[in-house]
Amino acid sequence: DTEVTQTPKHLVMGMTNKKSLKCEQHMGHRAMYWYKQKAKKPPELMFVYSYEKLSINESVPSRFSPECPNSSLLNLHLHALQPEDSALYLCASSPPVGRTYEQYFGPGTRLTVT
Amino acid sequence: KQEVTQIPAALSVPEGENLVLNCSFTDSAIYNLQWFRQDPGKGLTSLLLIQSSQREQTSGRLNASLDKSSGRSTLYIAASQPGDSATYLCAANRDDKIIFGKGTRLHILP
C-alpha cells in the first residue's frame, strides 16, 4: 500500500454542524500533516504530527481540532466552521528516513460550509 | 523566513516543445526541494525530490535541478504533451515544514 487515503471526498456542512475528516496511510510513515488549500493558492500548513504527537500548530483556530489515534490514522474534527473555511483539505505523510522529509499527499476532501 | 517564488505564474506552449519552470527560495538551509503536480480540484502528486546534497534528479521526460548556493531550482519538461497541462508547485523543505511556491499553471496546446 503506497498511498494516502482521505474520506470523505466531498463534505457539505452547516455552520452549527460537527464533522470529521479522516486520513490514513499504511506505509509506516512517522509524520502526518493537514493542509488547507483555497482555490488557485498553494497549500497552507495547518498541523503536523510526528510520532503521533502534535509538533506543529500553525495558529489554526480552535474550531479545527486534530487527532492522531495511531501511527496510521489522522483525523481533523470540525465544529462551528465559517463559510470562509470552505476549501480543499489535504493530508500528507512523510517517512522516517533520515532527513528525507519527502511528503506524500492524499487526494483531499473538498469542504463546503453553508 | 523562507519564501518560495515560481516564475512564470502561467505558461502556454505548443505540444512537443521543451520547457523550463523556475523556482527560487530565500533560505538555502533546506533539506530538500520537491516538485509537485496538481490537477484542478485534485491532490498533489510528487514528481521529483532533490536532496540538499544532490544537483539533479530525473524521471522520464522530467529533470529537476537544484543550486542551493543561488537558491534556485528548475523543472525541465521535454517533448511536452497535452496531458502535462496542470499546475506545477515547488516546495522547499526544512524540518517538518515545507513552504510552497504559488505554482506555475501550464497549458500545453494540442
- pLDDT tens, position by position, B11-21: 999 999 999 99
Q: How far is B42 from chain A (nearest CA, A)?
A: 6
Contact A105 B44 (CB under 8 A): yes
Instruction: Centre a 10 Å sphere on the Cβ of residue A94 and count the other Cβ atoms it contains.
Output: 22
A17 min Cα distance to partner chain B (Å): 24
- Could you give the 3-state DSSP secondary structure of residue A83? helix
pLDDT digits (tens, 9 = 90+) for B21-61: 999 999 888 889 999 999 998 899 999 999 989 999 999 99
- CA Rg value for chain B: 13
DSSP B84: G
Q: How far is CA A61 from CA A64, A76, A78, B43, in A?
A: 6, 12, 10, 23
Which of chain B's residues have a Cβ under 8 Å away from the Cβ of A38?
none
Q: Looking at residue A2, what is its pLDDT?
A: 67
For range A92-108, the mean pLDDT: 82
Q: How far is B18 from chain A (nearest CA, A)?
A: 25
**Which pLDDT score is estimated for B4?**
95
Q: Do B96 and A31 touch (CB under 8 A)?
A: yes
- Point out the residue among B34, B89, B93 whose CB comes nearest to the CB of A42: B89
Compute the count of residue pairs across chains A and B with CB atoms less than 8 Å apart. Answer: 59
Answer yes or no: is pLDDT of A97 > 80. Answer: no
Nearest-by-CA chain A residue for B96: A101
Euclidean distance between CA atoms A5 and B43, whole angstroms: 11
Contact B44 A43 (CB under 8 A): yes
Beta strands in B15-54 (DSSP E): 19-25, 32-38, 44-51
Residues belonging to chain A with any Cβ–Cβ distance to chain B shorter than 8 Å: 6, 31, 33, 41-43, 45, 48, 50, 55-56, 88, 90, 92, 94, 99-108, 110
Kindly determine whether residue A101 and residue B101, on different chains, have CB atoms separated by under 8 Å.
no
User: Is the Cβ pair A43, B100 closer than 8 Å?
Assistant: yes
Q: Given a cut of 80, is residue A101 above it in pLDDT? A: no
CB atoms near residue A111 (< 10 Å): 21
Q: Are the C-beta atoms of residues B106 and B85 closer than 8 Å to each other?
A: yes
Per-residue pLDDT averaged across A12-36, rounded? 94
Sign of CA dihedral B19, B24, B29, B30: negative
Beta strands of A1-114 (E only): which ranges? 4-7, 10-13, 18-25, 31-37, 44-50, 53-57, 64-70, 73-79, 87-94, 104-105, 109-113
